[in-house]
Amino acid sequence: MQPILAQNFGINGAKKDPLPAPAAAPEEAAKPDAYEVGRSEIITEVVLTGELKAERSVVINAPDIRSSFSNMVTFLAPEGAEIKKGERIVEFDDSSLESQKSEAERTLDEVELTIEKTKADLEAQRCDLLNSVAQAEANLEVSQLYGRIGKELLPANTYQQYQLNLEKSKLSLQKAQEQLDNFEKTYASEMALVEINRSQAEINLKKIESDTRLLKVDAPQDGILVYGDNWQSNRKIQVGDTLHHAMEVARLPDLSSMQVVGYVYDTEYGLLSSGIRGTITLDALPDFRMEGVIVSLTNVGSRKDFTSEKKVFQAIVKPDKVTPEMMKPGMTARVRIPVVIAKDIPAIPREFLGVDAEGKYFVVKGTESKTASIQHVELGKIGDRLAQIVSGVSVGDPLLPIQYSEEFSK
């Protein structure tokens, strides 16, 4: 009995044309593209994340003031501003030093008055001593006149009295001269004593003036101003902060010496070494690309942050060329470094690998889906694009894309 063909009728019962017959199957399905296992190198990309920093910078630290262990910031030039040499960039509170300066100036004035008074007193004393010498010399001349009178012309006791007066006058002159000489010898030391007080007062005043100048800092060179970090407040330095001496207030980086200070996890640290090259990108400038080279790696790891147990190592990457108008300090930078982890080994693209329910890797071996078979493989090094084949297939074996494995699971 022949099968009854279904008829197709419209809504009004009119007979319609039968359904079109299916298209004839092609004589042969399209042959899938096969991949031939070959020898290659395994490459993985290590990404360093960090920021742009200047290799050379002039650091502005809080000043070391003799009279104070800390100072309050009263002025800061805007961060990121282009500073010219000689421009004021930071000031600290100097009210205490101004008070000390006034006191030191008053002390110096008092010492000056003391010096003038001492000098006047010594000059008056000198005049008195000179008068004493002159009086002694006059007395000696009179005594010498009487002493020259002959003995035979005077009574014995009068003659002896004149000779005694002569000796007394000589002694008086000698004593007056000695007093004047001693005064002249001690005059310089007396004046030096009060001069020392003036020198000390001048030194104290100069120290205060020097400290006052330290509280007003001008830029030693051209550059872009970058504020320092206030670790106590976990933020940048700002006006009103009280800083201990030697704390970093700001810095003026040398923009011609920009470099990337990046960090790499300890799991990837062994893949890197000095001299390896990479490509630098900036988050702020998506189209920016520049080649660079690792110039140094730290030997000691540290925690990424206080909340993480992961360890990182610092890497310094120097760009081949610095573009100051584009590369600014503090920009987030990424360095992509292709690292060869294996050479001249059997390898296949990762898209030709599958994982079964047991977690084992497999490939589809063959050139045609009808004759291909699933083959479990053992992997070695795994890169970003290729994976090393340790066993399961050999160089020259053809493989089909992993989607053909679905035909074997039906």
**pLDDT tens digits, residue range 207-250?**
999 999 999 999 998 888 989 888 888 889 999 999 988 889 99
Instruction: Please check whether residues 139 and 189 belong to one and the same domain.
Output: yes
Mean local confidence (pLDDT), 296-307: 81
Residue 34: its H or E element: none
Six-digit token string for 394:
């050999």
pLDDT tens-place string over residues 84-93: 999 999 999 9
- pLDDT given for residue 382 in this prediction: 92
Query: For position 72, which CATH number holds?
Result: 2.40.50.100
Q: Which of 46, 32, 40, 31 lies closest to 349 in space, CA to CA?
A: 40
DSSP string, 258-298: EEEEEEEEHHHHTT--TT-EEEEEETTEEEEEEEEEEEEE-
pLDDT interval class at 51 (50, 70, 90):
very high
Instruction: Please check whether residues 276 and 328 belong to one and the same domain.
Output: yes
Compute the 3-state secondary structure of the chain and give helix, strand, coil in percent, each to the nearest 5.
Answer: 30, 35, 35
Domain span including residue 277: 47-54+256-339
Burial class (CB in 10 A: 0-12, 13-18, 19+), 232: exposed
The verdict on residue 313 lying in a domain is yes
- What burial letters (b/e) apply to 11-23, b meaning 16+ CB within 10 Å? eeeeeeeeeeeee
The verdict on residue 16 lying in a domain is no
The verdict on residue 142 lying in a domain is yes
Instruction: Please check whether residues 103 and 198 belong to one and the same domain.
Output: yes
Pick the more confident residue, 145 or 7: 145
pLDDT tens-place string over residues 345-394: 999 999 999 999 899 999 999 888 888 889 999 999 999 999 999 999 99
Instruction: Please check whether residues 190 and 103 belong to one and the same domain.
Output: yes
Query: For position 389, which CATH number holds?
Result: 2.40.420.20
Mean local confidence (pLDDT), 398-404: 86
- pLDDT given for residue 32 in this prediction: 61
Instruction: Please check whether residues 377 and 348 belong to one and the same domain.
Output: yes
Tell me how long the chain is.
Answer: 410
Average pLDDT of the chain is 86
* Whether 269 contacts 313, CB under 8 Å: yes
- pLDDT given for residue 2 in this prediction: 34
- pLDDT given for residue 7 in this prediction: 34
- pLDDT given for residue 82 in this prediction: 86
Instruction: Please check whether residues 148 and 187 belong to one and the same domain.
Output: yes
Please give the tally of structural domains in the chain.
4
Is pLDDT above 80 for 203?
A: yes
Is pLDDT above 80 for 22?
A: no
C-alpha to C-alpha distances, 82 to 88, 89, 328, 390, nearest whole angstrom: 12, 11, 11, 59
Cα–Cα distance, 41 to 241 (Å, whole number): 56
Share of the chain above pLDDT 70, in %: 90
Mean local confidence (pLDDT), 164-170: 93
pLDDT tens-place string over residues 251-266: 998 888 899 999 998 8
The verdict on residue 144 lying in a domain is yes
Instruction: Please check whether residues 234 and 382 belong to one and the same domain.
Output: no
Instruction: Please check whether residues 403 and 304 belong to one and the same domain.
Output: no
What residues contact 26, with CB distance under 8 A and at least 6 apart? none
In three state form, how does the secondary structure of 81-101 look? CEECCCCEEEEECCHHHHHHH
- Give 3's DSSP letter: P
